[in-house]
């Protein structure tokens, strides 16, 4: 638990755990926490993280808080247009030497579902508008650490934007470089290097600015030290 009060519960989700059950997953984060907190009558996910993404995950303990949080997340809403809108930041390690200090990526995304129920997303003109800001953090030769700021919240947005630009996320088993991923497994990187490290937002009830952070997981920190 990163933060908790009467309206919010914020947790640091580990990689490999789905946020909710379904598609062969009996228990996700939300079901697990409901079992742990049977006295909590209302508890809902305010947003989602991919199963293999770790980091800050926001849950609402009151319906009013959930409604306010969803309003903050709508890019066209009055609440999200002011200076205190919700700000999601991720850390990601990609293949390739990224050059630009700051790069705005605005590529529309189209979501499809395969015959076996798998969600796949690709860049397609006329799809849903998607905007990510990437900031260069540190280069490691053939790899680069970036900070990604989501301006929209489309499914697999960071992963697809980076893969389309030719900078796949290390360990991404859906949009990444599969041969490289096999080599990385032997070197000790056994998961996708994508971590939701910071979430800044006005409290949905009090309006107080919350700065919520989840440190880089030990296995990702260890891999960075190894390639440094």
Rounded distance between C-alpha atoms, residue 181 and residue 143, angstroms: 13
pLDDT band at 14 (very low <50, low <70, confident <90, very high): very high
> How many CA atoms lie within 13 Å of 185's alpha carbon, on the beta-carbon side?
8
Please choose, from the candidates 101, 9, 15, 96, the residue with its C-alpha nearest in 3D space to the C-alpha of residue 60: 9
pLDDT at residue 116, as a whole number = 76
| Structure tokens given for 167 | 């900078």
Q: What is the pLDDT of residues 77-130, one digit of tens each?
A: 544 445 467 899 999 999 999 999 999 999 999 999 887 778 899 999 999 999
pLDDT at residue 80, as a whole number = 45
Rounded distance between C-alpha atoms, residue 215 and residue 43, angstroms: 25
pLDDT at residue 76, as a whole number = 60
Average pLDDT of 126-139? 96
Rounded distance between C-alpha atoms, residue 206 and residue 19, angstroms: 26
Contact 143/171 with Cβ under 8 angstroms? Answer: no
Query: Considering only 87-96, 107-116, 140-149, 180-189, which range has the smallest mean pLDDT?
Result: 107-116
pLDDT at residue 75, as a whole number = 64
- What residue spans of 56-209 are helical by DSSP H? 63-73, 78-81, 157-165, 178-187
Residues tagged active-site: 50
For residue 193, is pLDDT > 90?
yes
Can you give the pTM of this predicted structure?
Answer: 0.91
Rounded distance between C-alpha atoms, residue 129 and residue 40, angstroms: 36
Give Cα 105 to chain centroid, integer Å: 16
pLDDT at residue 81, as a whole number = 46
User: Measured in Å, how far apart are the chain's first and last C-alpha atoms?
Assistant: 31
pLDDT at residue 228, as a whole number = 86
pLDDT at residue 153, as a whole number = 87
Question: Which residues, in sequence order, are bridge partners of residue 90?
Answer: 148, 196
pLDDT band at 140 (very low <50, low <70, confident <90, very high): very high
pLDDT > 70: percent of the chain: 94
Rounded distance between C-alpha atoms, residue 160 and residue 224, angstroms: 23
Q: What is the pLDDT of residues 24-62, one digit of tens each?
A: 667 899 999 999 999 999 999 999 999 999 999 999 999
């Amino acid at each position: 638990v990163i933060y908790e009060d009467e309206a919010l519960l914020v947790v640091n989700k580990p990689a490999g755990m789905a946020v909710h059950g379904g598609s062969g997953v009996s228990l996700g984060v939300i079901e697990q926490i409901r079992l742990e907190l049977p006295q909590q009558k209302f508890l809902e996910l305010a947003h989602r993280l991919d199963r293999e993404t770790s980091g800050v995950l926001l849950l609402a303990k009151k319906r009013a808080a959930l409604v306010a949080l969803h309003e903050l997340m709508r890019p066209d809403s009055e609440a999200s247009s002011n200076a205190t809108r919700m700000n999601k930041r991720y850390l990601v390690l990609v293949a390739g030497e990224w050059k630009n200090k700051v790069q705005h990526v605005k590529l529309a995304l189209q979501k499809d579902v395969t015959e076996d129920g798998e969600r796949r997303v690709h860049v397609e003109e006329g799809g849903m508008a998607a905007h990510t800001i990437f900031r260069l953090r540190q280069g490691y030769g053939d790899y680069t650490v970036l900070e990604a700021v989501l301006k929209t919240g489309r499914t697999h947005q960071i992963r697809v934007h980076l893969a389309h630009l030719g900078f796949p996320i290390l360990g991404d088993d859906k949009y990444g470089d599969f041969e490289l991923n096999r080599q990385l497994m032997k070197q000790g990187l056994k998961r996708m290097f994508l971590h939701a490290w910071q979430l800044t937002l006005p409290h949905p009830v009090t309006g107080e600015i919350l700065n919520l952070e989840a440190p880089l997981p030990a296995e990702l920190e260890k891999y960075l030290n190894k390639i440094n």
